[in-house]
């Protein structure tokens, strides 16, 4: 059996790779593996069954996939609370909030509607480590011994799921949003119900776009992957700020009053300095990936904040945060994790705290974002090369060293072998876009010439 889990759960074309049979089998195997935990065993000792939360985003295939997951869990003796359409971070929060044994989220995040995915949260609302995913895959190959009679699980509606999450979000805010006009792009996704409501309840005047999900228009020309629509709306309405989510709302990007995009690095810079000032930034340390902009590192250094770097992927950011007990981390893409309030990236939470900082300081988003200079960043994907030699070939290493000497402290070079394809990503940052582009192309040519497998 090929590896089923990717970097963020199981993802693929719904009814292609991701069938109802697969979803049911995955749920049954998960019930065995995660149902062996101490909390689940304690429930059984009390004569109770393990409990799981199941939720989905509004894409049409989520209806049959969530039904298959719920059926797989109930047939394995797990009681299911069906939360319906909510965001991924809401699902993670609910697992923790009600002390459930684990949870499932049916979503393909920022992918188009034909795709879908299954994310699994362990006890406490945390993502699964690789070793647990491997155990689940192994159990999918085994015949499951299923309960009968009164031992099968029950499936019930999680009636107050959205209300619990909304109250949690409001309770996290250090300042109300009174006096600010916010445009929210819900990406025709899972945020459509909660995000406008919570921003309004927090005191903001709210204008909403991308809030008419029909099952097939999720992420379609809207949301964080098409942020130009948000910029147009902010300017058209004369709003103070725009907030863009993706389909499952684990991301947040922003637009200032001038229509300028504020990315995840800039958002992290703003939040880090706010938290440092308020004494909530643990060890005055921010966690970010190697892809974060050089400008973020320089801004943090200038303001007395340390930066801890990880591999690309929010799971690696979260691992580093958990290992060292840190409060803030994230990615340039808008996955921002605030560990005091969430176990995963939460786009609504991030947006609320960003706008709250505007209200607290009386500054515009452009003023707050000016703490960080964004260095031009150029990426070139070099295909059909031996990616395993990217960090050992002498010619490539020399070219990288020469480029780093040329750029000095005003730039940066990063070579990243793809995890799934025979390609190497060449990323260059520099003080201006032309220099970044020229150096990136030169390096790409060296990689192509020396590592080609054609």
With both helix axes pointing from N to C terminus, report the angle between 264-278 and 347-361 in degrees, rounded to the nearest 10. 60
Distant-in-sequence contacts of 264-267, Cβ < 8 A, 24+ apart: 264/330, 264/331, 264/332, 264/333, 264/334, 264/335, 264/336, 265/292, 265/293, 265/295, 265/296, 265/332, 265/372, 265/374, 266/296, 266/369, 266/372, 266/374, 267/330, 267/334, 267/336, 267/350, 267/354
Q: Are 284 and 141 in contact (CB under 8 A)?
A: no
220 is in an annotated binding site: no
**Token digits for 411?**
């730039």
Torsion 213-218-221-223 (CA) sign: positive
Single out the residue of 92, 73, 10 nearest to residue 337, CA to CA: 92
* 246 marked as binding residue: yes
Angle of the 433-451 helix axis to the 394-407 helix axis, nearest 10: 170
> Smallest Cα–Cα separation from 125: which of 170, 94, 85, 87?
94
DSSP state for residue 82 in the 8-state scheme:
E
Annotated active-site residue 109? The verdict is yes
d(CA 256, CA 358): 11
Q: Which residue has the tokens 């947006």?
A: 351
Residue 392: which of 402, 404, 400 has the closest Cα?
400
Is the CB of residue 268 less than 8 Å from the CB of residue 337? no
Which of the following is catalytic: 107, 109, 195, 274?
A: 109
Provide DSSP, 232-262.
Answer: HHHHHHT-SEEEE--TTS---EEEETTS-EE
Any known ligand binding at 339?
Answer: no
The number of beta carbons lying within 10 Å of the beta carbon of residue 392 is 9
Tell me the CA distances in angstroms from 173 to 182, 345, 349, 397, one per residue in order.
Answer: 16, 16, 9, 48
Q: Is 85 left (phi over 0), alpha (psi -120 to 50) or beta?
A: beta
Cα angle 65, 69, 74 (rounded to 5 degrees) comes to 145
109 is in an annotated binding site: yes
| Catalytically active residues, by annotation | 109
Binding residues for Mg(2+): 109, 246, 248, 250
């Amino acid at each position: 059996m090929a590896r089923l889990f990717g970097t963020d759960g199981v993802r693929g074309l719904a009814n292609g790779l991701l069938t109802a049979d697969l979803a049911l089998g995955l749920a049954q195997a998960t019930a065995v593996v995660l149902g062996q935990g101490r909390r689940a065993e304690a429930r059984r000792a009390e004569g109770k069954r393990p409990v799981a939360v199941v939720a989905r985003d509004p894409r049409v295939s989520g209806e049959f996939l969530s039904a298959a997951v719920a059926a797989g869990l109930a047939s394995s003796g797990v009681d299911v609370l069906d939360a319906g359409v909510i965001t991924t971070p809401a699902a993670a929060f609910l697992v923790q909030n009600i002390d459930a044994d684990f949870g499932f989220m049916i979503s393909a995040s920022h992918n188009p509607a034909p795709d879908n995915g299954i994310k699994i949260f362990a006890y406490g609302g945390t993502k699964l480590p690789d070793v647990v995913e491997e155990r689940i895959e192994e159990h999918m190959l085994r015949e499951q011994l299923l309960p009968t009679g009164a031992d099968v699980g029950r499936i019930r509606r999680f009636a107050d799921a959205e209300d619990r999450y909304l109250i949690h979000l409001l309770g996290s805010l250090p300042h109300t949003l009174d006096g600010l006009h916010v445009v929210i792009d819900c990406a025709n996704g899972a945020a459509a119900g909660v995000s406008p409501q919570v921003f309004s309840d927090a005191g903001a005047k709210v204008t909403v776009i991308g809030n008419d999900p029909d099952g097939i228009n999720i992420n379609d020309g809207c949301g964080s992957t098409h942020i130009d629509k948000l910029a147009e709306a902010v300017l058209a309405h004369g709003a103070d700020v725009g907030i863009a989510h993706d389909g499952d709302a684990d991301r947040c990007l922003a637009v200032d009053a001038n229509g300028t995009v504020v990315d995840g690095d800039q958002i992290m810079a703003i939040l880090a300095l706010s938290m440092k000032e308020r004494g909530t930034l643990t060890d005055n340390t921010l966690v970010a990936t190697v892809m974060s902009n050089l400008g973020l590192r320089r801004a943090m250094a200038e303001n007395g904040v340390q930066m801890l770097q990880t591999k690309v992927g929010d799971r690696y950011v979260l691992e580093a945060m958990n290992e060292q007990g840190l409060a803030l981390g994230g990615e340039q893409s808008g996955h921002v994790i605030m560990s005091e309030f969430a176990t995963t990236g939460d786009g609504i939470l991030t947006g609320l705290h960003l706008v709250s900082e505007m209200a607290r300081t009386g500054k515009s988003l452009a003023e707050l974002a000016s703490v960080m200079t964004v260095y031009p960043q150029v990426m070139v994907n070099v295909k059909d090369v031996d990616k395993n030699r990217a960090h050992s070939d002498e010619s490539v290493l020399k070219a990288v060293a020469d480029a780093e000497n040329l750029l000095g402290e005003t730039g940066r070079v990063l070579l990243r072998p793809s995890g799934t394809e025979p390609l190497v990503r060449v990323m260059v940052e520099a003080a201006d876009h032309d220099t970044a582009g020229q150096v990136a192309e030169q390096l790409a040519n060296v990689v192509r010439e020396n590592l080609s497998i054609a």
